[in-house]
């Protein structure tokens, strides 16, 4: 990949399912394209508000906390500066502290939208939320004589929401109107707050109006009022905030407050470029304007002077043109989404087919993106997927690598050992640089608690929701591929284990009865055969010998283990020469031997000991070794009828051997003239 010589900016933004963040994105994108700046949008695509409506409050099927991690990947993106729309991010953190969040990126210039942070290198643009809501409530009081105005707040910890709430409280207070706790309802800026509005109306049946902290919640309020038989704009008045594209299409059209998200996004890029050029940029409180429509009861009423200024001929034409453009864009977005939705099942089937190697699987993902019409996309994967449960402390992984890309519809995937590592010096912006200007959407790839990496793709703003669905499908496919790979490894491991077990059994069959070094029976073979003799039930006079090669350690330490093995084999040969072939002899330990000899001869134990002493003497005279091979011996004579007899004899023979070892030589080294 080429080294980036162009300016690249990161944008951290959440709640992109709602109107205002999309407007910010449109403004940022348009200005960035004009100024030839690359943009990387790190998207928080929280869906709990939608799933809550379908699955209920208690559903656990949410993994939105994963999106709280995507913002940290911006720190290794290699961008020159960061634009942060904290108002749509902080509400999803357990501890929504904008200053602490800003410190994460304090090594770069930061422009904060919808929140104010007093830190070096941080610059803020925030809507005049207070004045906007204050004006809306004042309009209801002064123009429509409303006395009991209810309020639906935005998320806790959100600066915009706090300022709008304060604007409501102060407007009510300025007119001497009392606000009781039951007149306030919580909200989350989503359209799915019907239950909250129902409770608010149940507790305040005499309400004149409801002011909502944004338009999407106001849509919910209109829906609830319609179900209850309340005529909006007549029986009850409703105001919103944002002037979203649907506010003019509600029935009746929604009175709302215009905060120009596109212009704020445009200003954020302009300010960032000024900062990068070394200029000073002041804090900006962006102005808002009340847009009066029929939901507040203004049908047929003449607008106030300031509203006339906004709704002059030129302003009205501009507003109509903007709304027409937004409606056409929405219609095209729906058509494109419907068309692309047919491709998703095909893509899922293709991705979930078995692929033998990971490189081939990554190529399939890139081919799928190309099929969807994405000319440039990049797949970044972690060396190993990580588990994150949302409770433990999050640590951004340092092993993210570029796995594959589709550039100008040409696909390529790296082998596992070739994948470039993403670092602060060689970041995502460097690896995606092709000399052209792009607006990249960055999606987190995860499945449940399992996190795999990032999908970076150059797609239009209108399609970001669709590619969120695509990114989820890719996350599922990565999870299935991982499971298939684990299953294949388990099968291979199981096959290897079974083969090892079979080989081990073959070895055990060979080793179960005989000692490999001496060719004698081993302990197991000796005991099995002795037990069989006992099972025959015949009483016989037996002599159990325990023998121990003297000073094996000295031989090993002085002349090496090869000589030690020679001495063990020699000891075995000596003992075999002293008994009959029908008798039993075994090596039962490293230097320990056992013989079971049957003889009715009186004093046989002494005869056997003398044979062994003589055999050792003859061996040492002719061995040519610098050491003696000598054997300490303990023998127990007993009447063998059952296994218990053998066991007791074993104890006695072992004790006899212990006594015999006390009289062995202190060293088995031969003198020079004895060789």
pLDDT of 303 reads 46
Instruction: Indicate if 649 and 534 belong to the same structural domain.
Output: yes
Residue 198: give the domain boundaries. Answer: 129-258+281-311
Taking the model in full, what pTM does it have? 0.68
pLDDT of 320 reads 67
| Segment 170-192 mean pLDDT | 94
- Cβ-based burial of 310 (10 A; exposed 0-12, middle 13-18, buried ≥19): middle
| Segment 626-637 mean pLDDT | 92
Q: How many CA atoms lie within 13 A of 243 on its CB side?
A: 19
What's phi and psi for 410, nearest 5 deg? -105, 125
pLDDT tens-place string over residues 593-605: 999 999 888 889 8
Task: State how far the alpha carbon of 556 is from the alpha carbons of 561, 567, 626, 662, in Å.
Answer: 5, 10, 13, 21
| Segment 545-565 mean pLDDT | 92
Instruction: Indicate if 144 and 110 belong to the same structural domain.
Output: no
- Count of H-run helices and E-run strands, the chain: 20, 21
CA distance 151 to 215: 13
Cβ within 8 Å of residue 412, ≥6 positions away: 363, 366, 404, 405
pLDDT tens-place string over residues 293-337: 999 999 744 444 444 444 455 556 666 666 666 666 666 666 666
Mean pLDDT of the chain: 86
- Asked if residue 497 has pLDDT above 70, the reply is yes
| Total domains in the fold of the chain | 3
Closest by CA position to 140, among listed 71, 228, 209: 209
Instruction: Indicate if 438 and 548 belong to the same structural domain.
Output: no
Helix (H) or strand (E) holding 605: helix 604-622
**Higher-confidence residue: 133 or 96?**
133
Beta strands in 268-416 (DSSP E): 284-286, 289-291, 376-387, 400-407, 410-413
CA distance 146 to 439: 47
**Higher-confidence residue: 60 or 523?**
523
Instruction: Indicate if 297 and 157 belong to the same structural domain.
Output: yes
**Domain contains 515:** no
* Listed residues 486, 514, 543: the one ending a domain: 486
**Domain contains 553:** yes
- Asked if residue 407 has pLDDT above 50, the reply is yes
Task: Give yes or no for a contact between 291 and 310, defined as CB atoms under 8 angstroms apart.
Answer: yes
pLDDT of 480 reads 86
115-119, 408-412, 554-558: least confident range: 115-119
Task: State how far the alpha carbon of 218 is from the alpha carbons of 89, 133, 651, in Å.
Answer: 22, 13, 94
pLDDT of 60 reads 46
Task: State how far the alpha carbon of 354 is from the alpha carbons of 375, 382, 494, in Å.
Answer: 26, 21, 20
Rg from Cα positions in the chain: 43
Instruction: Indicate if 287 and 148 belong to the same structural domain.
Output: yes
Percent of the chain whose pLDDT exceeds 90: 53
Cβ within 8 Å of residue 449, ≥6 positions away: 63, 387, 388, 389, 390
- Asked if residue 93 has pLDDT above 90, the reply is no
Closest by CA position to 325, among listed 315, 337, 335, 317: 317
pLDDT tens-place string over residues 559-575: 999 999 999 999 999 99
**Domain contains 337:** no
**Domain contains 28:** yes
Most confident of the following: 11-25, 126-140, 527-541: 126-140
- Asked if residue 94 has pLDDT above 70, the reply is no
pLDDT of 393 reads 83
Query: Crossing angle, helix 313-341 and helix 343-352, to 10 degrees?
Result: 40
**Domain contains 81:** yes
Task: Give yes or no for a contact between 209 and 238, defined as CB atoms under 8 angstroms apart.
Answer: yes
- HEC states along 21-59? HHHHHHHHHHHHHHCCCEEEEEECCCCHHHHHHHHCCCC
Instruction: Indicate if 37 and 141 belong to the same structural domain.
Output: no
Helix (H) or strand (E) holding 534: helix 523-535
Instruction: Indicate if 549 and 585 belong to the same structural domain.
Output: yes
State the distance between the two ends of the chain, measured CA to CA, in whole angstroms: 77
Instruction: Indicate if 303 and 362 belong to the same structural domain.
Output: no
pLDDT tens-place string over residues 24-60: 999 999 999 999 999 999 998 766 655 555 445 554 4
- Asked if residue 339 has pLDDT above 80, the reply is no
Task: Give yes or no for a contact between 516 and 504, defined as CB atoms under 8 angstroms apart.
Answer: no
Instruction: Indicate if 70 and 184 belong to the same structural domain.
Output: no
Instruction: Indicate if 248 and 357 belong to the same structural domain.
Output: no
| Segment 336-349 mean pLDDT | 62
DSSP-derived pairing of the beta strands 149-152 and 184-185: parallel
Task: Give yes or no for a contact between 635 and 608, defined as CB atoms under 8 angstroms apart.
Answer: yes
Cβ within 8 Å of residue 85, ≥6 positions away: 11, 12, 13, 14, 21, 24, 113, 114
CA distance 3 to 310: 48
| Segment 217-238 mean pLDDT | 95
* Listed residues 427, 462, 486: the one ending a domain: 486
**Domain contains 275:** no
Task: Give yes or no for a contact between 404 and 6, defined as CB atoms under 8 angstroms apart.
Answer: no
**Which residue bears the tokens 């121990």?**
548
| Segment 399-422 mean pLDDT | 94
375-384, 434-443, 488-497: least confident range: 488-497
- Asked if residue 250 has pLDDT above 60, the reply is yes
Could you please report the per-residue DSSP string of 87-154? GGTGGGSSS--HHHHHHTTTTS-EEEESS---STTEEEEEE-HHHHHHHHHHHHHHHH----EEEE--
Provide the 10 A C-beta neighbour count for residue 31.
Answer: 21
Position 349 confidence tier, pLDDT thresholds 50, 70, 90: low
**Higher-confidence residue: 484 or 222?**
222
Task: State how far the alpha carbon of 308 is from the alpha carbons of 237, 263, 285, 313, 640, in Å.
Answer: 21, 22, 23, 9, 123
Kindly report whether the peptide bond that precedes residue 502 is cis, defined as omega within 30 degrees of 0: no
**Domain contains 168:** yes
> Token pair of 410, please?
């040409």
86-100, 363-377, 443-457: least confident range: 86-100
What's phi and psi for 239, nearest 5 deg? -125, 150
Position 646 confidence tier, pLDDT thresholds 50, 70, 90: confident
**Higher-confidence residue: 17 or 49?**
17
pLDDT of 509 reads 67
| Segment 505-515 mean pLDDT | 74
Cβ within 8 Å of residue 106, ≥6 positions away: 119, 120, 121, 122
Task: Give yes or no for a contact between 371 and 413, defined as CB atoms under 8 angstroms apart.
Answer: no
Residue 288 sits in a domain whose CATH number is 3.40.50.2300
90-104, 258-272, 364-378: least confident range: 90-104
For Cα atoms 264, 267, 268, give the angle at the middle one, nearest 5 degrees.
85
- HEC states along 117-133? CCCCCEEEEEECHHHHH
pLDDT of 222 reads 95
**Domain contains 321:** no
Chain centroid to CA 201? 43
Instruction: Indicate if 346 and 480 belong to the same structural domain.
Output: yes
Residue 612 sits in a domain whose CATH number is 3.30.70.270
Helix (H) or strand (E) holding 439: strand 439-447
Task: State how far the alpha carbon of 217 is from the alpha carbons of 182, 212, 239, 437, in Å.
Answer: 18, 6, 10, 37
Give every strand in the sheet of 631-640, ordered side by side.
584-587, 592-598, 540-549, 631-640
Rama region for 500: left / alpha / beta (φ>0; ψ in -120 to 50; rest): alpha
Instruction: Indicate if 376 and 479 belong to the same structural domain.
Output: yes
């Amino acid at each position: 990949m080429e080294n980036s010589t162009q300016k690249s900016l990161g944008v951290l933004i959440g709640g992109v399912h709602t109107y205002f963040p999309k407007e910010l994105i449109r403004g940022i994108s348009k200005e960035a394209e004009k100024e030839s700046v690359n943009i990387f949008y790190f998207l928080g695509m929280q869906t709990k508000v939608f799933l809550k409506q379908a699955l209920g409050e208690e559903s656990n099927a949410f993994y939105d906390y994963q999106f709280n991690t995507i913002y940290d990947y911006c720190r290794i993106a290699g961008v020159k500066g960061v634009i942060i729309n904290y108002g749509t991010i902080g509400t999803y953190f357990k501890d929504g502290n904008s200053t602490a969040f800003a410190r994460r990126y304090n090594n770069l210039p930061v422009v904060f939208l919808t929140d104010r942070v007093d830190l070096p290198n941080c610059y803020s643009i925030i809507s005049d939320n207070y004045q906007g809501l204050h004006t809306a409530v004042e309009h209801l009081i002064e123009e429509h004589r409303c006395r009991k105005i209810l309020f639906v707040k935005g998320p806790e910890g959100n600066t915009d929401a706090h300022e709008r709430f304060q604007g409501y409280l102060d407007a009510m207070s300025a007119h001497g109107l009392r606000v009781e706790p039951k007149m306030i309802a919580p909200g989350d800026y989503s359209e799915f707050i019907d239950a909250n509005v129902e409770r608010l109306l149940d507790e305040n049946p005499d309400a004149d109006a409801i002011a909502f902290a944004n338009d999407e919640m106001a849509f919910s309020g209109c829906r609830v009022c319609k179900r209850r038989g309340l005529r909006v704009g007549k029986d009850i008045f409703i105001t919103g905030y944002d002037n979203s594209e649907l506010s003019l299409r509600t029935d009746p059209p929604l009175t709302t407050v215009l905060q120009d998200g596109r212009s704020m996004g445009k200003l954020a890029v302009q300010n960032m470029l000024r900062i990068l050029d070394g200029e000073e940029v002041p804090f900006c409180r962006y102005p808002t304007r009340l847009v009066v429509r029929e939901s507040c009861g203004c049908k047929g009423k003449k607008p106030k002077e300031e509203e006339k200024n906004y709704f002059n001929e030129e302003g009205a034409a501009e507003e109509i043109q903007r709304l027409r453009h937004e409606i056409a864009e929405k219609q095209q977005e729906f058509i494109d989404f419907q068309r692309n939705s047919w491709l998703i099942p095909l893509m899922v089937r293709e991705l979930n087919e078995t692929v033998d190697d990971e490189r081939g699987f990554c190529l399939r993902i890139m081919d799928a993106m190309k099929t969807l019409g994405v000319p440039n996309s990049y797949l970044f994967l972690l060396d190993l997927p990580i588990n994150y449960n949302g409770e433990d402390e999050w640590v951004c992984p340092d092993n993210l690598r570029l796995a594959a890309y589709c550039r100008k519809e040409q696909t390529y995937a790296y082998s596992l050992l070739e994948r470039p590592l993403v670092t602060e010096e060689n970041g995502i912006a460097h690896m995606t640089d092709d000399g052209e200007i792009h607006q990249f959407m960055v999606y987190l790839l995860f499945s449940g608690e399992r996190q795999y990496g990032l999908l970076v793709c150059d797609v239009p703003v209108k399609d970001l929701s669709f590619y969120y669905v695509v990114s989820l499908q890719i996350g599922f496919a990565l999870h299935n591929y991982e499971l298939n790979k684990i299953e294949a490894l388990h099968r291979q491991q199981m096959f290897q284990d079974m083969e090892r077990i079979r080989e081990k059994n073959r070895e055990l069959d060979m080793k179960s009865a005989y000692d490999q070094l001496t060719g004698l029976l081993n302990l197991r073979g000796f005991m099995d055969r002795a037990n069989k003799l006992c099972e025959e039930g015949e009483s016989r006079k037996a002599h159990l010998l325990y023998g121990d090669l003297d000073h094996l350690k000295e031989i090993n330490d002085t002349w090496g283990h090869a000589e030690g093995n020679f001495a063990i084999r020699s000891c075995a040969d000596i003992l075999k020469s002293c008994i009959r072939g029908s008798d039993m002899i075994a090596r039962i330990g490293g230097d320990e031997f056992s013989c079971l000899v049957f003889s009715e001869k009186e004093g046989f134990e002494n005869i056997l000991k003398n044979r062994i002493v003589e055999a050792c003497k003859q061996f040492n005279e002719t061995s040519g070794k610098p050491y003696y091979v000598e054997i300490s011996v303990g023998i127990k004579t007993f009447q063998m009828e059952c296994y218990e007899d053998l066991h007791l004899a074993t104890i006695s023979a072992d004790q006899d051997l212990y006594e015999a070892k006390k009289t062995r030589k202190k060293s088995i080294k031969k003198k020079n003239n004895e060789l």
